[in-house]
Amino acid sequence: MKILITGGSGLLGSALKEISNITNHQFIFLSSKDCNLTNYQETFDCFKLHQPDFVIHCAANVGGLFKNMSQKVQMFEDNTFMTINVFKCCHYFKVKKVINILSTCIFPDKIEYPITEEQLHNGPPHDSNNAYAFAKRNGDILAQAYNEQYNMNIISVIPTNIYGKHDNFSLKDGHVLPALIHKCYLAKQKNEDFVICGSGKPLRQFIYNIDLAKIIMFLLFEEKNKENIIVCPNDEISIGEVGKKIAQCFEYSHKIRFDSSYSDGQYKKTCSNKRLMELLPEFKFTSLNDGLNTTIDWFIQHYECVRKN
């Protein structure tokens, strides 16, 4: 079977590549250098060339809080066009199953906790990332439409905050955990304060990218579940505590400072993994301590070539 992964050089795509040798399938890891998925003709030509049996749609224009707040037009347009073009080609080329990657940050701002899959469209998202959130939600609606009208098999996988090797460690546009890793690294190099933007109080659930990749490969061939599924560990931790763990890894805990002049964003996004655990009751998530140590070691070793923009 041919499995095409969009966003193949990104955080999740790289994790899927790392575990791809555990199967006998043929993998095609597509990056933006291979195809501009916001362009339909390029997307069509790529699908025609590779003729995939399965597609894992990881490609997205993503970023941290401040990118979501400052680049709303690009976030909405890029993610909308990519999803439309990929789904249209999956239909045309009769792809057997599509895994569509969403994010728990697209759930409503005002919501009952813990968050479940059924609540996705129950209200507006937080203002800070509404453009990205509505683009990805519209992708889920389009997936449901294709399933109903053309009997396709598209399910949306909704992970919490992903981290790991091959992340984007941009100080400006990266997600919170890789940005904090880079910031702490530089602070130690310069003997400056390790500044964490905001109060540090917001709570998040983090999933190691290799764990997510293993779960996605299971779901790709799992036939019982036809519904969207949240992927997350049970543990929830504050941004401040994450910052402290990162500082401990760098042996730089004595110079942490919080800058409350910055926005905290959404306070919490606590999700339920009940549906996932019913399918994979024995799955063991990588602990945050172990995942951070591995990620930071890799970041230091590859500092000159890691993504930082």
Catalytically annotated residues: 132
H or E, element range at 40: helix 40-50
User: Could you give the dihedral angle defined by the CA atoms of residues 98, 103, 109 and 115, in that order, rounded to the nearest 10 degrees?
Assistant: 80
Q: Write out the two tokens for 153.
A: 């098999």
**Residues in contact with 261: Cβ distance below 8 Å, sequence separation at least 6, in sequence order:** none
Residue 184 and residue 130 in contact, taking contact as beta carbons nearer than 8 Å? no
* 75: nearest Cα among 130, 11, 37: 130
Q: What is the C-alpha separation between 91 and 105, in angstroms, rounded? A: 28
User: Could you give the dihedral angle defined by the CA atoms of residues 175, 228, 270 and 109, in that order, rounded to the nearest 10 degrees?
Assistant: 80
Q: What's the DSSP call for residue 267?
A: S
Tally of residues, the chain: 309
Q: What is the C-alpha separation between 298 and 267, in angstroms, rounded? A: 30
